[in-house]
Chain A
């Protein structure tokens, strides 16, 4: 017997990047002011998150309509958040963005904490990407970052538990409630089960363990061996270079995800890269490099496949 809250503020989820970026389901109410949600595999119905990590990249990108859009990525132990700051952002957020751009240009490391709205984008090919629109952000010290890591870990562990508890329950609102699923997870879990089916949560456990290692100051345990060296044209190991390696990784991931057996065409790769905040020209040149170094091949002109 409660009054329906129309304009109530949506809560913020403490969430690691892996859970958010693996989500491929969204929900938008029919009303103009209805909030939109990204639904994660663990059943979180996310309109807002509070996330933190290392600011890896922040670049201005001119858009076709003349407005300015900053695109960035922020890394936590589990993966990367993609975010964008446009003219619509608050004054303080835009001011901060300018300062952060300067810092990333000179390669100064920045730990960032942000409260952000979830965004969702689907390409014509059906690939789904999540991203963030920060509302507020600030630089934090490692101590606050460590605190955030424990909270995000706790949130993930709770969701994993609730998710696994819900598996044996009847997939209805009543069934989940009877199984002790808290109210704020019921809808998300129903949607999640419908969309994702059986999921493997092993990865999330590993993410949490690594996050807790960092929070406990056990950085060695949290460190992972560097990825196997790839044949590179030039290897100077500068921060700029490593950002470019990320672009390559992203391109390879996109091609791997979209390849139905015939490879993926040039235009599709570029649009999807665009959705990940990668500049078209950069993507083009990196595609060339990847082909040259033998990571990709072109079975026919303009179609790319991963060399297996």
Chain B
């Protein structure tokens, strides 16, 4: 229920911080169900109700900040002692971060502060808990790094997350001025350590910046924005500025209060009204040429949504395709590219000077973007000048990249992006019960469950063979699907023998025989990988058991670890 009214409840809470979000949500529900009043129409009434409740006690004690009116506050030393209903609490905390934001409340611009605070401020290495806070005052006494005593704040619990509300009647006493360095804001973080979301401060050099437009989805017009990329010595990140951005490429900037948002698999900095962008001076900061080396990526590093990346790749296949849009014939060029770390696809919206007889050819790609289709990266080239043809390959040119597979450590494979043309080895820790013969949907090749496809309903299906295994290196695991030829090669049977085995012994006994063959053994597999939130999956077209000599390994271990 509370989720349904989330935005409305938070609007009420921004006016009445002490109101209980649950009660507010209940009020909205009551209006809607019992009176058929939609939440946006109930706003005013509900606001009045909670505002009234809240303003009564403050009106009765006009002695602002004075100690004459004894507070009946609950004094705690740890945030963990508090629960969602606690009001009027007193605690000493360190302010970790402090950000300002403007918010329009009933047509009036209002400054609000927010950030993180941390309990147990006096113990150097003690256990500390961090909460978010909002300061509706906002108080001038809150500064990052300072330790303050907060008297009369209230706890807000929303969807299991606890935070502290500081309002105008809350007293804030600075116990220790901000001295020690704190991370953000004002303290720049290395770009490669930025979180996947949140407010940050970075110092970096502008590597790219170009005006762009965002068209509003409702067709009500477009917004002028600037897209670009900044870098420090630790890494590089794309940015999107919603405000006019006038800095030239190469300028060194300090950017405070930028918001990190992750689009597809790629984090991006957002500059808005509250972001402070200023020129920064540091003679020792790396120059743009050195920094731009970092945007040169290998295929293994491509991530969906990445922009402004450079790469040196070999084009191994190239073809022109045509399609019709809005009654007009249009062209798209696409093909395969490769480098020593793997293979992927590339598409171009304009004709490139590529002909079959020149393939394979090595090119430098500049400021291209990455899309992914079914987990496989696809480089998009918009204009011809993004492609520079190279005379030589920077790697050993005897390497035949059309069939090259890159050997990848299993942990790297499991934690990296989706890749094509890779190979790995690890111990098999699972052979799934549905390994062996399967029926695939005649329409879409999905595996049939009890004779039916999830999409296309019952059908006879086409018989196929595959194994479902899990490979594991003790840190990560990759689920491994072997296709028919890889399966038959791995288990040393042809399809007929396999069929006999299943019919004679039954599926479970067959699976047990596969386990006796494969569990605990190292398998080398190659193919392509799909990596998403669920984990990593390898679709293998080749797999073999690695023969290992236990005695030899044991002797090697003794020598290596000095155990004898």
Contact = CB atoms under 8 A, between A and B. Distances in A.
Interface of A: 1-14, 48, 50, 52, 90-92, 95-96, 113, 115, 135-140, 143-144, 146-151, 153-155, 157, 161, 172, 182-184, 205, 208-209, 212, 215-217
Contacts of A150: 550, 553-554, 557
B535 A9 contact: yes
B27 interface: no
A164 to B, nearest CB: 12
B557 A153 contact: yes
B427 interface: yes
Contacts of A212: 554, 557-558, 563
B553 A215 contact: yes
Contacts of B516: 138-140
A38 B509 CA distance: 32
Given A136-B431, A143-B550, A205-B563, A157 B557 contact: yes
Contact of A115 (B430, B509, B561): B430
A195 to B, nearest CB: 16
Interface string B450-477: 0000000000000000000010111111
5 tightest A-B CB contacts, nearest first:
A146-B550, A138-B515, A215-B554, A150-B553, A212-B554
12 contacts: A5-B534, A7-B535, A9-B477, A95-B512, A115-B430, A136-B431, A137-B515, A138-B519, A147-B520, A147-B548, A150-B553, A153-B557
With a 10 A CB-CB cut-off, give which of A138, A140, A149, A182 has the most chain B CB atoms.
A138
Interface in B524-564: 533-535, 548, 550-551, 553-555, 557-558, 561, 563-564
Nearest to B550: A146
Contacts of A96: 512
A17 to B, nearest CB: 16
A155 B561 CA distance: 12
Contact of B551 (A4, A5, A216): A216
Q: How large is the interface on B (under 10, 10 to 19, 20 to 34, 35 or more residues)?
A: 35 or more
Contact of B430 (A136, A147, A153): A136
A157 B429 CA distance: 21
B553 A135 contact: no
A146 B564 CA distance: 17
Contacts of B535: 5, 7-9
Interface in B190-221: 192, 194-196
A9 to B, nearest CB: 5
B332 interface: no
B474 A147 contact: no
B224 interface: no
Contact of B515 (A1, A3, A136, A153): A136
Contact of B533 (A7, A50, A209): A7
Given A147-B553, A209-B563, A215-B551, A113 B511 contact: no
A88 to B, nearest CB: 15
Instruction: Name A's interface SS.
Output: mixed
Nearest to B478: A9
Nearest to A214: B554
A77 to B, nearest CB: 12
A154 B558 CA distance: 9
B206 to A, nearest CB: 21
B534 A7 contact: yes
Contact of B519 (A91, A140, A217): A140
Contacts of A149: 550, 554
B76 to A, nearest CB: 22
Nearest to A153: B557
Nearest to A143: B550
B511 A92 contact: yes
With a 10 A CB-CB cut-off, give which of A10, A50, A91 has the most chain B CB atoms.
A50
Given A13-B474, A144-B520, A157 B551 contact: no
A90 B433 contact: yes
Given A8-B535, A92-B433, A144-B520, A216 B563 contact: no
B512 A92 contact: yes
B472 A12 contact: yes
B173 interface: no
Interface string B399-430: 00000000000000001000000000001011
With a 10 A CB-CB cut-off, give which of B267, B429, B509, B548 has the most chain A CB atoms.
B429
B429 to A, nearest CB: 5
Given A144-B521, A151-B427, A212-B557, A217 B551 contact: yes
B550 A215 contact: yes
B48 to A, nearest CB: 38
A92 B508 contact: yes
B278 interface: no
A182 B474 CA distance: 12
Contacts of A148: 520
